[in-house]
Chain A
């Protein structure tokens, strides 16, 4: 016993230092407020619980809330069955106006808390909360059969499987229950799994069922998953489920706890440091399961591995179609079992029908797909018109209840196939409704009839005059014509001839009238214009010498004519008719020479 005295002495020496360290440490603490919802003017109580010696705390300043320390006390908190010394501080908080307040943690290690303050004379703004059904009372219960508490009594796992023997491939429902003590088990880190590789586990239900139960004096939250397992081979197996969780458990050994319990309380304060969250895996007790092989005797040739209890039926839609139009044949398989092995190829070949590959869809009626309905759909097209019969469909499976293979068959189906394809198609076409509903069936009676088949086609709807290749044609044509207009010269001879004829007509008229003045003046003017055009020179520059040089002897006659014109202007010269004719012949001769 000597070593015990030595230990006590050492502990006595270390106690002051330990005490000081505890004062400065941020001791684990938490806060609660009750009630969490009050009216204006009412008060709630905040209790601060600290696992260590707590210095004076600083009351917060929050507009709308008044804080007042009511007192402090020291005692023990029981954690995992172990008494832990703790300090309690009680604070009264009084509401001054409504609102939702967040009160910060009053110690460095405590979390903030919320407080709702409502008016006393108005409807509850959070009525939806108060209208929620009250939580069910915690039901006293016992541990499931075969289950054992683990993690220091904070959790358990139970696997519920059928006690009867099952067959290879048979899906059997299983329940996995996970019991947790809230506060001690802080989290579930994964879904339950089965141990062993000889079974397949279907997808677990998405959300586990949740209930609270009082088991062995403690409140447990029990989570239940539903699923189905199937054995892949025959034999005797031991099956269990396991789940990873995080739980607060003591990391000290039993000997350390026994020693520490004899020490003074300042040293015991350090014990909470030995209680820490830890990731562990808890497993259920093994359950025995006997798996039988499927019997080979009486196994149908078309057996595809379906094990369960099924019922079948079939239908077809539409019941009346035109030859060439498709219809859909459906096979419904309902019941319980391994629907993943339920399969049917429907009809590979059917006389007077064109068959297409079938497709299937499964609609579960429970959370794990153990119970439901699988539908196979196969498009068919009738090749002949008239009354047709679609043979019944068959489906083979093994029934574990009767322990033998069974064959389910649907009755034949009668289908009426219309004789006229065209009329049916036309009806289908005219039965199309537009979105606005304006075009009802048969509402186009006012349309004029169709035209004969077209004989003339064009490549483009755009008119010719908007197409560049066509525009090149009038453009080219216009350019050619414009060039021609500029290129072509007027016929000067013909123009002169007409002028000469007009001048001769005037001269002849003056000669017959005996108007010598007009005759000679017109003759002089006509000849001067003719000579000017012929010789390309101005008329006023044509002199007598020029006439003589260019016309020779005729030039002298022309000069005589010009002189008579001057004489007739200023004198009363009257030549005879013979003279007029001679001068006319001269002029006509000169003009005729021009025309040639």
Chain B
């Protein structure tokens, strides 16, 4: 009797937590809204903001063909190269991150319940064994999805063309190299109003925070991402 109550308790807890997370108090982002906004920026001749919006839309709907097609088209029009993705990455990113998160929870539940069931009922061991295997597979899907998405948590888009990357975080510092608008960079550190970025080819330099838009805005609002703030407010 006790063992039969545990799955119900877990299911109830998961249902409650899922509802709490799925009902935001201040709705701000949607894949379609970001996609439409990106299209507007693209038509207005602002590839940086367009690519930023497409990237954000792709986070919410990675398997949307329109988002990926327009993102590739705008990058090509802006003469910015895209990072090639291997087959595993494409396979893992087909799953929506939100779905992948809940699949991971389901996998943990299956593994745990299977282990308990094997201990409780030695007869028909293949049933809990199959559940354990399925749970492990689901956890693996979630883990690979998270691992592949982790670099994008630190990715930013260059919003201003000919953005100088400087050798030190100072406005008058020498320019190390110049970034194109809509180019993707990786943020590695920050100092006051400058962000240390790593661009293609392993080049590193300090870029003014106002010239970049983080694909995933920092929690608590976009502190100094002026362009990103405009993007969000327009989206609202």
A-to-B contact residues, CB < 8 Å: 429-436, 438-441, 443-444, 446-467, 469-470, 472-474, 476-478, 480-482, 484-485, 487-488, 490-491, 494-495
- Closest residue of chain B to A471 (Cβ to Cβ) is B101
Q: Is the CB of A448 within 8 A of B78?
A: no
Q: What are 30 A-B residue pairs whose CB atoms fall within 8 Å in the complex?
A: A434-B45, A434-B46, A434-B181, A436-B78, A436-B162, A439-B45, A439-B47, A444-B43, A447-B70, A448-B39, A451-B35, A451-B66, A457-B28, A457-B29, A457-B33, A458-B30, A458-B98, A460-B29, A461-B59, A462-B216, A463-B100, A464-B101, A465-B97, A465-B145, A477-B105, A487-B2, A488-B116, A490-B120, A491-B121, A494-B122
Residues A465 and B146 in contact in the complex (CB < 8 Å), given A436-B181, A444-B43, A488-B2 = yes
CA distance A478 to B116 in the complex (A): 12
Q: How many A-B residue pairs have CB under 8 A?
A: 194
Residues in A whose Cβ lies below 8 Å from that of B98: 458, 463-464
Which positions 84-119 of chain B face chain A at CB distance < 8 Å? 97-98, 100-102, 104-105, 108-109, 111-113, 115-116, 119
B217 on the A face (CB < 8 A): yes
- Closest residue of chain A to B217 (Cβ to Cβ) is A461
Residues in B whose Cβ lies below 8 Å from that of A480: 6, 9-10, 112
- Closest residue of chain A to B5 (Cβ to Cβ) is A484
Q: Is the CB of A465 within 8 A of B104?
A: yes
Residues in A whose Cβ lies below 8 Å from that of B40: 429
Residues in B whose Cβ lies below 8 Å from that of A474: 104-105, 108
Q: Is the CB of B70 within 8 A of A459?
A: no
CA distance A480 to B12 in the complex (A): 13
CA distance A239 to B206 in the complex (A): 67
CA distance A478 to B74 in the complex (A): 44
CB of A329 to closest CB in B, whole Å? 29
Which positions 4-47 of chain B face chain A at CB distance < 8 Å? 6, 9-10, 13-14, 17-18, 20-21, 24-33, 35-36, 39-40, 42-47
Residues in A whose Cβ lies below 8 Å from that of B108: 474, 477-478, 481
Q: Is the CB of A465 within 8 A of B10?
A: no
Q: Is the CB of A454 within 8 A of B21?
A: no
15 A-B pairs besides A440-B45, A458-B24 with CB distance below 8 A are: A434-B181, A439-B42, A447-B39, A447-B73, A454-B32, A458-B28, A462-B153, A463-B101, A463-B149, A465-B146, A474-B104, A477-B105, A481-B111, A484-B116, A485-B116
Q: Is the CB of A454 within 8 A of B31?
A: yes
The contact size tier of chain B is 35 or more
Residues in A whose Cβ lies below 8 Å from that of B26: 459
CA distance A443 to B74 in the complex (A): 10
Q: Which of B32, B60, B161 is close to A461, meaning CB atoms less than 8 Å apart?
A: B60
* Interface residues of chain A: helix, strand, loop or mixed (majority): loop
Q: Which of A440, A446, A461, A494 has the most CB of B within 10 A?
A: A461
Residues A443 and B6 in contact in the complex (CB < 8 Å), given A429-B43, A430-B44, A450-B35 = no
Q: Is the CB of B44 within 8 A of A453?
A: no
CB of A498 to closest CB in B, whole Å? 8
CA distance A430 to B46 in the complex (A): 10
Residues in A whose Cβ lies below 8 Å from that of B42: 439, 444, 447
CA distance A456 to B30 in the complex (A): 6
Q: Is the CB of A435 within 8 A of B105?
A: no
Residues A473 and B105 in contact in the complex (CB < 8 Å), given A439-B47, A458-B60, A461-B29 = yes
B172 on the A face (CB < 8 A): no
Q: Which of B29, B113, B149 is close to A481, meaning CB atoms less than 8 Å apart?
A: B113
CA distance A465 to B100 in the complex (A): 8
Residues in A whose Cβ lies below 8 Å from that of B204: none
CB of A475 to closest CB in B, whole Å? 9
